[in-house]
């Protein structure tokens, strides 16, 4: 390191720890957390990602919040259901419902009788009201848990679960659905091939030991060309109960997403059970939905595993509010008007000196793969990505073709001014 290398001027650890601004900001925090924040800021300066003069300010930013370590992020990626950013943002009514439910509640208590009552009865009613008549509902803690519970209950005693090889998918972070289903003790009976499975393939595999036929929506990708599969109506005529995992949580068909499966269509086609996530296209909290025949839903509800997989009171409260809400952010963002997005992008570009370019958003979270959401983005120098991500507010964009793109699709209009200020602050940091 040369004598004039600016990294030689990075403040020492003891100097930063004794600084009055850092000391005030760190009041009440464990020393180990403060030391970690200091070292993180110093490392950013060593890598040249922030200026030496900004180490103290960055150390303060790195301090964990007393309200929890999760940091709010402005999602300027154009991905509506962004798994790494927490999937669906909750509506205002869902947030209020969670706050209201944060104390003691009548979660499993009937105030009229003073006795134990059914858990989450209101949210189950709200779900049933969105389904064809005669169907029941159960809420667990996530979509994978919903499928796990269904396979565990219907495949008990080593019974066989029949599934197409083309639907044995990996759902993210290395988790594979065949491994998940095999962990239940059920015997997987794979049929067909990767690209084609016929009704005869299923029929030939069904026997006295068949517990269910499972149909899984292969989200996150599409198989095109010489392909073939069997729809739910065809499978429902084979005898065993058909479990359809639709993934995204769309309850009714949406003309804007013609290839995305929905619970209502699957149930009307003969599905015995439908499993789905609550925090994708439905736009609610992390939750898993089991919808379908009352006798099977009751069987799953009484299974011992259901206790371990049940959703907590905050998720139930947020889900109920989401089901009653007409202003769910996920729906608003995916249906945003391209012309309005362009006007907002032009305003931001004028404020910060960027360039407006077309940019298609996507659903994300495995929903509607291949569906593009026409829109616009502001193109900025790629070197602004780090100071924007580490700024306050943290703004996450998309790096593409050597540029940083900020897509305002998933940014509330009320936050546009804050995004502009964050970009200008990032420019000052980058210019150092």
pLDDT digit string, tens, across residues 178-217: 888 888 888 899 999 988 999 999 999 999 999 999 999 8
Q: What is the pTM of this model?
A: 0.83
Are 80 and 362 in contact by the 8 Å Cβ rule? The answer is yes
Q: What is the pLDDT of residue 383?
A: 95
How confident is the model over 226-231, as a mean pLDDT?
85
What percent of the chain clears pLDDT 70, i.e. is strictly above it?
Answer: 96
Average pLDDT for 257-268: 95
Q: What is the CATH number of domain 73-88+331-431?
A: 3.90.1150.110
- 3-state helix/strand/coil string of the chain: CCCCCHHHHCCCHHHHHCCHHHHHHCCCCCHHHHHHHHHHHHHHHHCCCCCHHHHHHHHHHHCCECCECCCCEEECCCECCEHHHCECCCCHHHHHHHHHCCCCCCCCEECCCCEECCCCHHHHHHHHHCCCCCCEEEEECCHHHHHHHHHHHHCHHHCEEEEEHHHCCEEECCEEHHHHHHCCCCEEEEECCCCECCHHHHHHHCCCCEEEEEEECCCCCCCCCCCECCCHHHHHCCCCCEEEEEECCCCCCCCCCCCCCCHHHHHHCCCCEEEEECCCCCCCCCCEEEEECHHHHHHHHCCHHHHHHECCHHHHHHHHHHHHCCCCHHHHHHCCCHHHHHHHHHHHHHHHCCEEEECCEEEECCEEEEEEECCEEEEEEHHHHHHHHCCCCEEECEEECCEEEEEHHHCCHHHHHHHHHHHHHHHHHHHC
> 7-11, 108-112, 144-148, 325-329 — which is least confidently predicted?
7-11
Q: pLDDT digit string (tens) for 376-398?
A: 999 999 999 999 998 889 999 99
C-alpha 204: how far from chain center: 38
Please report which confidence band the pLDDT of residue 71 belongs to, taking 50, 70 and 90 as the band edges: confident
Which residues have a Cβ under 8 Å from the Cβ of 36 and sit 6 or more positions away? 62
pLDDT confidence tier of residue 399, bands split at 50, 70 and 90: very high
**What integer is the mean pLDDT of 38-65?**
90
Q: What is the pLDDT at residue 280?
A: 96
Cα-atom radius of gyration of the chain, to the nearest Å?
A: 25
Closest Cα to residue 214, out of 148, 260, 158? 148
- Determine the Cα–Cα distance for residues 342 and 152; give it in Å rounded to an integer: 49
Higher pLDDT, 71 or 170: 71
Q: Tell me what pLDDT residue 8 has.
A: 81
Give CA separation, 211 vs 149, 182, 206, 241, 294, in Å. Answer: 13, 13, 9, 7, 17
| Token pair recorded at residue 262 | 């929905």
d(CA 96, CA 320): 12
Q: What is the mean pLDDT of the chain?
A: 92
User: Within 13 Å, how many C-alpha atoms sit on residue 88's CB side?
Assistant: 31
User: Residue 221: what pLDDT?
Assistant: 65
CATH class of 92-326: alpha beta
Average pLDDT of the residues in 34-61:
91
Instruction: Give the pLDDT band of residue 366 (cuts 50, 70, 90).
Output: confident
Residue 24: CB atoms within 10 A of its CB come to 9
Mean pLDDT is highest, among 20-24, 264-268, 387-391, for 264-268
Quote the CA–CA distance of 123 and 128 in Å, as a whole number: 9
Residue whose token pair is 């060309």: 225
Residue whose tokens read 């900004």: 54
Q: Count the neighbouring beta carbons within 10 Å of the beta carbon of residue 191.
A: 20
Closest CA to 334 of 303, 287, 385, 371: 371
Q: Tell the residue number behind the tokens 């298609």, with chain if given.
A: 360
Whether residue 300 contacts residue 274, with contact meaning beta carbons closer than 8 Å, is answered with: no
Is the Cβ–Cβ distance between 119 and 169 less than 8 Å? no
Nearest residue to 73 via CA among 423, 427, 394: 394
Show me where the domains of the chain are located.
Answer: 6-62, 73-88+331-431, 92-326
**Range in 55-59, 114-118, 177-181, 401-405 with the lowest mean pLDDT:** 177-181
8 A C-beta contact, residue 90 and residue 284: yes
Provide the pairing of β-strand 242-247 with 175-176.
unpaired
What percentage of the chain reaches a pLDDT higher than 90?
75
Phi, psi of 154 (to 5 degrees): -85, -20
CA distance 168 to 195: 12
CA atoms of 58 and 66, how far apart (whole Å): 17
Q: What is the four-CA torsion angle of 317, 319, 324, 330, rounded to 10 degrees?
A: 130
The pLDDT score that the predictor gives to residue 1 is 53
Distance CA 20, CA 180 (A): 52
Best mean pLDDT range from 157-161, 165-169, 289-293: 289-293
* Each residue's pLDDT tens digit, 54-70: 999 999 988 887 666 78
The torsion defined by the Cα of 99, 104, 106 and 111, in degrees rounded to 10, comes to: -130
Averaged pLDDT, 353-376: 92
């Amino acid at each position: 390191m040369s004598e004039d290398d600016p990294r030689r001027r990075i403040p020492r650890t003891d100097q930063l720890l004794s600084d009055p601004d850092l000391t005030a900001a760190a009041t009440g925090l464990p020393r180990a957390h403060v030391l970690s924040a200091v070292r993180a800021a110093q490392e950013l300066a060593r890598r040249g990602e922030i200026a030496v003069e900004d180490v103290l300010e960055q150390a303060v930013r790195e301090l964990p919040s007393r309200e929890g370590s999760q940091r709010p992020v402005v999602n300027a990626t154009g991905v509506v259901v962004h798994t790494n950013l927490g999937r669906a943002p909750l509506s205002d009514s869902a947030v209020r419902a969670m706050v209201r439910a944060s104390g003691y509640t009548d979660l499993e208590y009937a105030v009229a009788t003073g006795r134990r009552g059914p858990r989450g009865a209101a949210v189950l009613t709200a779900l049933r009201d969105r389904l064809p008549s005669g169907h029941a509902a159960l809420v667990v803690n996530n979509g994978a848990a919903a499928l796990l519970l269904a396979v565990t209950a219907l495949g008990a005693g080593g019974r066989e679960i029949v599934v197409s090889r083309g639907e044995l998918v990996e759902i993210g972070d290395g988790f594979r659905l065949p491994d998940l289903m095999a962990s239940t003790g059920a015997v997987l009976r794979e049929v067909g091939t990767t690209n084609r499975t016929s009704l005869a393939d299923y029929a030939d595999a069904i026997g006295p030991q068949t517990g269910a036929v499972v149909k899984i929506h292969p989200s996150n990708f599409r198989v095109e060309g010489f392909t073939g599969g069997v729809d739910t109506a065809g499978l429902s005529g084979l005898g065993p109960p058909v479990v359809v995992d639709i993934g995204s949580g769309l309850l009714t068909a949406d003309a804007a997403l013609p290839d995305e499966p929905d619970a209502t269509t699957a149930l009307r086609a003969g599905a015995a059970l439908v499993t789905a996530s609550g925090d994708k296209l439905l736009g609610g909290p992390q939750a898993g939905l089991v919808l379908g025949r009352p006798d099977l839903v009751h069987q799953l509800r009484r299974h011992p595993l259901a206790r371990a997989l049940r959703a907590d009171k905050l998720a139930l409260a947020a889900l109920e509010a989401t089901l009653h809400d007409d202003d769910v952010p996920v729906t608003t963002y995916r249906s945003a008007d391209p012309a309005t997005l362009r006007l907002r992008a032009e305003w931001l570009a004028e404020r910060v000196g960027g360039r407006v370019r077309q940019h298609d958003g996507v659903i994300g979270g495995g929903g509607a793969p291949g569906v593009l959401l026409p829109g616009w983005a502001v193109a900025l120098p790629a070197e602004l990505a780090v100071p924007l991500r580490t700024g306050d507010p943290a703004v996450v964009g998309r790096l593409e073709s050597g540029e940083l793109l900020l897509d305002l699709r998933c940014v509330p209009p009320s936050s546009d001014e804050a995004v502009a200020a964050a970009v200008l602050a990032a420019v000052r940091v980058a210019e150092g």
